[in-house]
Amino acid sequence: MTAATRVLVLNSGSSSVKYQLLDMAEGVRIATGLVERIGERESRMEHVPRLSGTGARERHTRFADHDEALAAVADELAADGYGLDSPQLAAVGHRVVHGGLRFTEPTLVDDAVLAEIERLVPVAPLHNPANLTGIETARRLRPDVPQVAVFDTAFHSAMPEEAARYAIDVRTADAHRVRRYGFHGTSHEYVARRTAQLLGTELEETNTIVLHLGNGASASAVSGGRCLDTSMGLTPLEGLVMGTRSGDIDPAVVFHLHRVAGMSLDEIDTLLNRDSGLRGLCGENDMRQIRRRRTEGDAAAQLAFDIYIHRLKKYIGAYFAVLGRVDALVFTAGVGENAADVRAAAVAGLDGFGLAVDPELNTADASGPRLVSPPDAGVAVGVVPTDEEWEIARQTYALVTA
Ligand code: ADP
């Protein structure tokens, strides 16, 4: 019998599905792709066969729902000779954003697990319903194959209580499970492990500050592979300045906008989650455009950048204090991996912490995990491209082969 060594990873959004098929025995990506604008007049699919190296294929046609989208994914994979009906498919790994208090590990999906993920919808209204749809769709396609949920919050569930609790009335907090869960956990976990490899140290002995700077952004303090603190909270709104989210604000801003500006709670929710952050400050949430505008002397873009960097520095300083000793400060995700100007500005003036970047290494046209600090730096500064799909596949495969 052929061993089942393939894992399909699905990251399902409300109108999109990102997918990867990997072979865990070979340690390779077979194919990757994306279906977007599901349910709209015209959807778009991009399928990239990675192993065969034949070029990407695009489809522009309507996929009415996730079932149709996944059927198209199955077709494309079958055309490459990797049909999802193959006995070699070991499992499907799903990204699930919110695992609440219950899910602290990758979890084999059954009806009870689905019901529990559903129960968490109020704290992740944008993400959990879409993640659920993805699981249900994949289950219909291959009911005989294990479906595994890997939670964005799981890695942070090891946070000590003093970091996870808000200082509010305990009974109210407990009754409504109001606490800090943190997100991007799969990324923080992957990057922390990869950083130890880069440094040539044992994960158990390595203290790392991970800065996941994408459109959403979060920082975490990781000691010996355990998360001691992270910047996102009950929802992904807390913490760093993001593409469209404010990050930390005085909660009284909400009362003020409601009472004084007459805004509804939904309007304030939209303001803080979608119309704030870099976009709120300068009309743009793409760091590439902000860089361009800064070089042209645009004052709003400059101020947005300065606020973004100021917040980053505050978290870097805070996590030095949380960790006590830091071996590495590591940048990841779209901004962290690509924006040398952000990396340089984030550590500028922090030489007292042992932090510096080497200008040449920092701006070198490189990909892959690398150090960008001078060789004699007190603390290593690195860039480690995140790979959440790989991490989800790894955890999924480990669970089903355990
Ligand atoms: P998401 O949070 O959507 O997963 P990503 O991690 O893909 O986001 O990051 C997307 C963001 O990365 C973009 O909004 C953009 O600001 C930034 N970005 C991507 N490429 C570059 C680049 N070359 N230089 C600066 N910023 C970049």
The domain locations on the chain are 6-151, 200-388
Mean pLDDT of the chain: 95
What's the 336 CA to ligand 1 centre distance in angstroms?
8
Residues 156-193: tens digit of each pLDDT: 999 999 999 999 999 999 999 999 999 999 999 999 99
* pLDDT, mean of residues 17-39: 95
pTM: 0.94
- Whether ligand 1 lies within 6 angstroms of the CB of 214 is answered as yes
Distance CA 140, CA 308 (A): 44
The pLDDT, as a whole number, for residue 1 is 53
The contacts of residue 60 (CB under 8 Å, 6+ apart) are 42, 43, 44, 45
DSSP 375-398: TT-SSEEEE----HHHHHHHHHHH
DSSP state, residue 48: E
State yes or no: pLDDT of 120 exceeds 90. no
Question: If you write DSSP's letter for every residue of 219-248 in order, what string do you get?
Answer: EEEEETTEEEEES--SSTTSSS--SS---S
Which amino acid, 89? L
Residue 126 has pLDDT above 80, yes or no: no
Which of 212, 281, 338 for a ligand 1 pocket mutation test, highest count of atoms within 8 Å of Cβ? 338
Residue type, 213: L
Q: Which atom of ligand 1 is nearest to the CA of 333?
A: 6
User: What band does 125 get if pLDDT is binned at 50, 70 and 90?
Assistant: confident
Pocket lining: 164 vs ligand 1, CB cutoff 6 Å = no
pLDDT at 279 over 90: yes
Residue 184: how many CB atoms within 10 A of its CB?
A: 29
What interhelical angle do 340-347 and 299-323 show, nearest 10?
60
Ligand 1 neighbourhood includes 280 CB (under 6 angstroms):
no
Question: Pick from 343, 217, 363: which is nearest to 285 by CA?
Answer: 217
- The residue with tokens 């009415």 is 64
Containing H/E element for 333? Answer: helix 333-338
Nearest ligand 1 atom to alpha carbon 386: 6
Asked if CATH classification 3.30.420.40 holds for the domain at 6-151, the reply, yes or no, is yes
* pLDDT band per the 50, 70, 90 thresholds, residue 3: confident
Cα of 334 from ligand 1 centre, angstroms = 3
Nearest partner of 391 among 312, 343, 335, 332, judged by Cα: 332
Dihedral, 264, 266, 267, 270 alpha carbons, nearest 10: 160
CATH says 200-388 is which class? alpha beta
Determine whether the shortest distance from the Cβ of 334 to ligand 1 is under 6 A. yes
pLDDT at 52: 85
Active site residues: 152
From the CB of 286, is ligand 1 less than 6 Å away?
yes
Which of the listed residues 97, 213, 244, 286 should we mutate to test ligand 1's pocket, taking the one with most ligand atoms within 8 A of CB? 286
Question: CB under 8 Å to 270, separation ≥6 — which residues?
Answer: none
Q: Pick from 343, 349, 345: which is nearest to 371 by CA?
A: 343
**Residue 287 Cβ < 6 Å to ligand 1:** yes
Average pLDDT over residues 214-230: 97
Confidence of residue 14 (pLDDT cuts 50, 70, 90): confident
pLDDT above 70 as % of the chain = 100
* pLDDT value at residue 13: 85
State the closest ligand 1 atom to the C-alpha of 286, by its place in the atom list counted from 1: 16
- Tell me the CA end-to-end span of the chain in Å, nearest whole number: 19
73 C-alpha to ligand 1 centroid (Å) = 25
Tell me the C-alpha distance between 91 and 398, whole Å.
Answer: 10
Structural tokens at position 113: 């697990």
Share of the chain above pLDDT 90, in %: 93
**Whether residue 289 has its Cβ less than 6 Å from ligand 1:** no
Pocket test for ligand 1, best of 97, 152, 279, 287 (most atoms within 8 A of CB): 287
Q: Which atom of ligand 1 is nearest to the CA of 217?
A: 2
Nearest to 73 by CA among 39, 38, 43, 45: 45
- For the purposes of burial, counting CB atoms within 10 Å of the CB of 258, is it exposed (0-12), middle (13-18) or buried (19 or more)? middle
What are the tens digits of pLDDT across the range 99-108?
999 999 999 9
Q: For 312-342, how does the pLDDT look when each residue is reduced to its tens digit (9 = 90+)?
A: 999 999 999 999 999 999 999 999 999 999 9
Taking residues 388-397, report their average pLDDT.
Answer: 96
**Which one-letter amino acid corresponds to residue 70?**
L
Average pLDDT score over residue span 94-119: 94
pLDDT at position 214 is 95
Q: Is the pLDDT reported for residue 151 higher than 90?
A: yes
Whole-number Å distance, alpha carbon 368 to ligand 1 midpoint, is 16
Confidence at 6, pLDDT banded by 50, 70, 90: very high
Give the total residue count for the chain.
402
Residue 367 CA, ligand 1 centroid: distance in Å: 15
Q: Which atom of ligand 1 is nearest to the CA of 212?
A: 6
Q: At what angle do helices 128-141 and 111-119 cross, to 10 degrees?
A: 160
For residue 2, what pLDDT band results from cuts at 50, 70 and 90?
A: low
Q: How many angstroms does the Cα of residue 333 sit away from the middle of ligand 1?
A: 7
> Is it the case that residue 252 has pLDDT exceeding 80?
yes
What value does the mean pLDDT take over residues 77-102? Answer: 94
Could you check whether 6-151 and 200-388 share the same CATH topology? yes
- Tell whether ligand 1 has an atom less than 6 A from the beta carbon of residue 13: no
